[in-house]
Amino acid sequence: MAFITKGNKIIMDAYDYGIQLPFDVTGATFAPTDKMRFELKKSKDSETLLTKEFLNELDSTTKFRFFLEFSEDESKQITPGNYVYFVRYLKHDIIQDTVVSGEVFQIKNGNG
């Protein structure tokens, strides 16, 4: 099954990896060194379980695209259950904005 999105909600089968989920961000002027940071947490106020940073896949100052993808090792770290995720915009490694804040990220029992 892999990734399913419903609005900002993401549903993923447990232990799936290597599948890309595209994210497009607009609303800022992006430099080539800017990054987006994906953070996965058990709840909004809990410690971050998984962090991934991305550079822009596009040669654009008005649109930022990245592809969320988990490695096999990362997918093994995330057990079935409900989580929340954040996407933060970074310039010079300093958070400029939170693009997605505490949206549902659900891991369903998979074929693991």
User: Per-residue pLDDT for 3 more than 80?
Assistant: no
User: Per-residue pLDDT for 5 more than 90?
Assistant: no
Kindly report the average pLDDT of the chain as a whole number: 91
Region 100-112 average pLDDT: 85
User: Per-residue pLDDT for 111 more than 60?
Assistant: no
- CA 79/CA 81 separation, integer angstroms: 6
Of 48, 50, 54, nearest in space to 77 by CA: 50
User: Per-residue pLDDT for 1 more than 50?
Assistant: no
The confidence score (pLDDT) of residue 109 equals 87
- CA 2/CA 9 separation, integer angstroms: 14
- CA 90/CA 92 separation, integer angstroms: 6
CATH 3.30.360 fits 3-108, yes or no: no
Of 4, 10, 1, 3, nearest in space to 100 by CA: 10
